[in-house]
Amino acid sequence: MNPLRPLLPLLATAWAAVSLPTAAAAQAPPSDDVTSYAIVVGSNAGGPGQDTLRFAEDDARRVATVLRELGGYTRDHVHMVLAPSPARLLDAIDQVAAEVERDSAAGRRSLVFFYYSGHARATALVLGDDELSLSQLRGRLTELPSSVTLVVLDACQSGAFTRVKGAEPAADFSFNSRTGLDATGLAVMASSSESELSQESDFLQGSYFTHHLLVGLRGGGDRDKDGRVSLDEAYQYAYNQTLLATSATAVGSQHVSLEVDLKGQGEVTLTFPDQADATMVLPAALAGDVLIERLPAEAVLAEVHKVAGDDLDVAVPAGTYRVLVRSAAVMQRCPVTVPHGGAIAVDLAGCDEIALADTVAKGGDAATPIRNRWAIELGAGLAGARRDAFTRRLEDAFDYSGGALRSQLSVELVRRMTPNLALTGRVTRIASEHYSYATDLEPLGYDVTSNVFTVGGRGELSFHDDHTLLFAEAGLGLTWARDRFEDEMDRVFSDDFFAPHLAGAVGVVRYSPWLNGVGMGLEARWLYAPTVTNELDDPDTMDVGGLFFGLTVDYRP
Share of the chain above pLDDT 70, in %: 69
DSSP 163: E
User: Average of pLDDT values for 72-86?
Assistant: 93
- Amino acid type, 421: L
Average pLDDT over residues 463-490: 83
Domain CATH number, residue 42: 3.40.50.1460
Q: Choose the final residue of a domain: 332, 358, 384.
A: 358
Most confident segment among 77-86, 156-165, 455-464? 77-86
- In a domain, residue 226? The reply is yes
Does residue 478 surpass a pLDDT of 50? Answer: yes
Residue 248 has pLDDT above 70, yes or no: no
- Domain span at residue 314 reads 278-358
> What's the pLDDT at 180?
41
Query: Are 328 and 446 in a shared domain?
Result: no
Cβ–Cβ < 8 Å for 356, 329: yes
Q: Are 79 and 152 in contact (CB under 8 A)?
A: no
Residue 350 has pLDDT above 90, yes or no: no
In the beta sheet, which residues pair with residue 338? 319
Q: Rounded to whole angstroms, how far apart are CA atoms 384 and 473?
A: 20
Does residue 163 share a domain with residue 221? yes
Number of domains in the chain: 3
When pLDDT is averaged across residues 55-63 and rounded to a whole number, the result is: 89
pLDDT of residue 387: 64
Per-residue model confidence (pLDDT) at position 507:
94
Q: What is the pLDDT of residues 505-542, one digit of tens each?
A: 999 998 886 676 788 999 998 888 766 555 545 555 56
So what's the pLDDT on residue 539?
Answer: 54
Q: Are residues 153 and 91 in the same domain?
A: yes
Whether residue 142 lies inside any domain: the answer is yes
pTM of the model as a whole = 0.55
Give the percent of the chain with pLDDT over 90.
Answer: 18
Phi and psi at residue 356, to the nearest 5°: -60, -30
Which pLDDT score, from 0 to 100, does residue 397 have? 66
Q: DSSP H helical segments within 230-311, as ranges? A: 231-246
Name every residue whose Cβ is closer than 8 Å to that of residue 493 and which is 6 or more positions away in sequence: 484, 485, 486, 487
Q: Calculate mean pLDDT across residues 226-239.
A: 83
Q: Taking 50 as the threshold, does the pLDDT of residue 427 lie above it?
A: yes
Q: Are residues 396 and 318 in the same domain?
A: no
Same domain, 33 and 73: yes
**Mean pLDDT across the stretch 25-35?**
51
Per-residue confidence at 370, pLDDT binned at 50, 70, 90? very low
286 and 144 inside one domain: no
pLDDT classification of 474: cutoffs 50, 70, 90: very high
What CATH number is associated with residue 393? 2.40.160.20
Note the pLDDT of residue 178: 38
Please state, in angstroms and rounded to a whole number, the distance separating the CA atoms of residues 443 and 490. Answer: 9
pLDDT of residue 121: 74
Mean pLDDT across 12-32: 38
Residue 367 lies in a domain: no
Q: Of 470 and 308, which is predicted with more confidence?
A: 470
Q: What is the mean pLDDT of residues 2-31?
A: 35
Predicted pLDDT of residue 20: 35
**pLDDT grade for 6, boundaries at 50, 70 and 90:** very low
Least confident among 294-303, 339-348, 380-389: 380-389
Dihedral angle sign, alpha carbons of residues 294, 289, 258, 147: positive
* Residue 181 sits in the same domain as residue 244: yes
Question: 113-140, pLDDT tens digit by residue?
Answer: 888 888 877 678 889 899 998 888 878 8
pLDDT of 544 strictly over 90: no
Q: pLDDT per residue over 172-200, tens digit each?
A: 444 444 344 443 345 556 555 555 555 66
518 touches 510 (CB < 8 A): no
pLDDT level of residue 328 (50, 70, 90 thresholds): low
The verdict on 232 and 264 lying in the same domain is yes
- Judged against a pLDDT cut of 50, whether residue 361 lies above it is answered with no
In a domain, 6, yes or no: no
CA-CA distances (angstroms) from residue 61 to 15, 84, 345? 19, 14, 27
